[in-house]
Amino acid sequence: MKKQILALALLSLPLIGMAKDSGYGNTEWGMTPNQVVAAQKGKAHLIPPQKYKDQWGKVSIEDVNIGSGIYTVTFIFDASDKLVQTNVASKEKKNEGIANDQFNSLNQLLTQKYGKPQFVSDEKATWKTDATTIELNKMIISGIMAQTLVRYIPNKTVISDTSNL
């Protein structure tokens, strides 16, 4: 009997590990700002709250090198202080050529990590994991702004946002 219980426990361990709702880096959806800071092991810090629609950016990692670009990571929380989104935004905000290069580089890196995207256009690509939707966006308004953004959001948010379509 003990062997059966031990075998059952060992078999269920991988399921417990996979059941986590993984977000960006070492985070999980639903973490508090302090939990995100702790999970990022000294890389992230609390910031004055920044408004994002009805949510708040409260934790950040500055100057993250990815591919050929430098990015700022902002962790976004809902009204109950639970992690609901992570944005990885390029520091480059003006040069269209750099924004295009960053988009192409991130597209290649994300494809290597997550496989072929589920959706691709000239300005957007989307991947899905078990718990997370990853959206790569290139925003260019000629002469005004040029930026690349990766947005990590829980799949349950995407399902909720599209439920009335």
- 130 lies in a domain? yes
Residue 14 lies in a domain: no
Q: What is the pLDDT of residue 21?
A: 66
Looking at the domain assignment, is residue 95 inside a domain? yes
What is the model's pLDDT at position 160?
Answer: 63
CA 19, CA 32: separation in Å to the nearest integer? 19
Residue-level pLDDT at 64: 97
- 10 in a domain, yes or no? no
Q: What pLDDT, on a 0 to 100 scale, did the predictor assign at position 163?
A: 61
User: Tokens 């935004």 — which residue?
Assistant: 89
> Would 11 be classed as within a structural domain?
no
State the pLDDT at residue 136: 98
Query: Does the predicted model carry a pTM greater than 0.75?
Result: yes
**Residue 13 domain-assigned (yes or no):** no
Pick from 151, 135, 148, 143: nearest CA to 98: 148
pLDDT score of 41: 94
Has residue 6 been placed in a domain? no
- One pLDDT digit (tens) per residue for the chain, 165 residues: 444 433 333 333 333 333 356 889 999 999 999 999 999 999 999 999 999 999 999 999 999 999 989 999 999 999 999 999 999 999 999 999 999 999 999 999 999 999 999 999 999 999 999 999 999 999 999 999 999 999 999 998 876 666 666
Residue 135's pLDDT is 98
Q: Is residue 129 part of a domain?
A: yes
Domain count, the chain: 1
Q: 125 lies in which domain range?
A: 21-161
The DSSP secondary structure of the chain, one letter per residue, reads -HHHHHHHHHHHHHHHHHTS-B-STT-BTT--HHHHHHHTTTS-EEEEEEEETTEEEEEEEEEEEETTEEEEEEEEE-TTS-EEEEEEEES--S-HHHHHHHHHHHHHHHHHHH-S-SEE-SSEEEEE-SSEEEEEEEEEETTTEEEEEEEEEEHHHHHHHTTT-
